[in-house]
Amino acid sequence: MSKEEKPESMSLYPLGTAAAPEPELLCIFGTGDLGRSLGQRLLQSGYKVVYGSRRPHSCGPVPQGAQVMSHTAAAQSASVVFICIQREHYGFLEQLAPQLKRKVLVDVSNNLRKNLYPEANAEYLQRLTPEAYVVKAFNTLSAWALQNGPSDSNRQVYLCGNSTEAKEAVTEIATRLGFSVQDRGSLSAARELEDFPLQLFPLWRLPLRLAFGLTAFFFFYLLTRDVIYTYATQKKDISFRIMVSLANKVFPIVSLIMLALCYLPGVIAAVFQLYRGTKYRRFPDWLDRWMLCRKQLGLLALAFAFLHVLYTLIIPIRTVTVLCRTDCHFKMKENQTSELDTTIAWRSDSYYSMGILGFGLYVLLGITSLPSVSNALSWREFSFIQSKLGYLTLFFCTFHTYLYGWDMFLRSSYYKWYTPPGYMLSLLVPSVVLVLKLLLLLPCVDRSLTRIRQGWERTEPQDDSQKSLIT
């Protein structure tokens, strides 16, 4: 090839070398646990991090790759500043107001208790730096969640602020870290966000109170009927049964009632919709609160069912240990045998079978309520398990209790001091729920309810008359 001829070619450079954007620099005020965890997570997500500290040379360990500067230098170097310090130390930020002008300040602080200050921390920060854009965010996440990344139970980041552009910047950062963002509006919602971490099991309060109340009531009810009645009428002390036998009567009773209470609000809601002829009217507040805590009711019911199973496994061991030397030894000595009653055998086998099936479905309901499992299910699959199999669980457990009672309700000896046995009281709520559910499954009722839930509304005669007058 001659020197004059030049091949048509072009130089090849590594793709993306020149086009690679410079990592965005973010600033963090505070080198505590939360500040270090947040910085570590930001570095792992491709950001550059600079810390602002009052002691840049002796602030303690920081994540590898991060820089430490004074507050003034760090604030000037980044457009987004995370405030990871307590409200009590916000005073110096007022002096940095010129350096923080038009910066996005992300307030992640929380208080020790509600209503500790007259205004929210984020609002106080906005007052100290009036020309900055304050956004309340990341305060519902712990240092552990930031270090280990979002999990199924801790993916949500709530934020609020007065600047749309500032919230968009913080949203982009949170999304890049792997969190989902929920915008709660203006900065006036900051107090609500700061109260979130202070709530202690808000959805568990009603179920726990209900469980404690039912347990206490049935414990003293059965204590009176079984132990005190026997001592008062026969002068016989059977108080040793309190620890195992009596407890094993209380646990299944509470479990069955609480399981029924999980499905009763759904039946009541269906009745409201049928009566009103629409699904667009709000339910009463008490029914809303009841429906929101159904999961917690079910999990507590499952816990009582587990206790019932464990105590049931213990009772035969205790019975053999205590009674084998008396009754069994006497029969062996006298060479006595008992004939097999097939009716009792059928009853006991059916009783155990219903209990095992009910408990197996019980466990399935508990497993599918876990976020890691429910997130892997479609809505139809989740609804099938929690609704249809849930009612089947309630049926098996209720039938299990009926088989336990068998013909006890016909014998006057079981009505001690004219009070019904505890198992009879436990059957009231689940029996009502099952009967109402059967009525709702009738074709004529189910057809109307399905139409209402698909958006159909019953037209009131009064509305028709008003429409005719208007036309």
Digit-coded pLDDT (tens) for 303-317 = 999 999 999 988 765
Pair of tokens at residue 178: 């792997």
CA torsion, ordered 406, 437, 387, 389, to nearest 10 deg? 30
CB atoms within 10 A of CB 436: 17
Distance CA 128, CA 136 (A): 15
- CB-based contacts of 453: which residues, under 8 Å, 6+ apart? 273, 279
Confidence band for 395, pLDDT divided at 50, 70 and 90: very high
Q: What was the pLDDT predicted at 156?
A: 85
Pair of tokens at residue 83: 């405030």
Report whether pLDDT(153) > 90. no
Better-scored residue on pLDDT, 27 or 59: 27
Report whether pLDDT(151) > 60. no
φ, ψ dihedrals at 350, nearest 5°: -65, -40
Tell me the CATH number for domain 24-198.
3.40.50.720
Q: What was the pLDDT predicted at 318?
A: 52
Average pLDDT value for the chain = 86
The answer to whether 193 and 140 have CB atoms below 8 angstroms apart is yes
Distance CA 170, CA 187 (A): 14
Distance CA 165, CA 107 (A): 16
The answer to whether 72 and 96 have CB atoms below 8 angstroms apart is yes
The closest alpha carbon to 28, from 95, 100, 78, belongs to 78
Average pLDDT over residues 151-165: 82
Digit-coded pLDDT (tens) for 321-358 = 444 444 554 555 566 666 667 888 888 889 899 999 99
Amino acid at 347: R
The closest alpha carbon to 204, from 283, 294, 70, belongs to 294
Report whether pLDDT(371) > 60. yes
Report percent pLDDT > 70 for the chain: 87
Most confidently modeled range among 171-180, 187-196, 211-220: 211-220
Enumerate the domain spans of the chain. 24-198, 202-460
The closest alpha carbon to 181, from 163, 162, 165, 159, belongs to 159
Q: What was the pLDDT predicted at 20?
A: 55
Distance CA 306, CA 362 (A): 10
Digit-coded pLDDT (tens) for 179-203 = 989 999 999 999 999 998 887 778 8
Pair of tokens at residue 20: 């690679």
Report whether pLDDT(417) > 50. yes
Digit-coded pLDDT (tens) for 52-61 = 988 888 777 8
CA torsion, ordered 322, 323, 329, 331, to nearest 10 deg? 180
pTM here is 0.71
Report whether pLDDT(263) > 90. yes
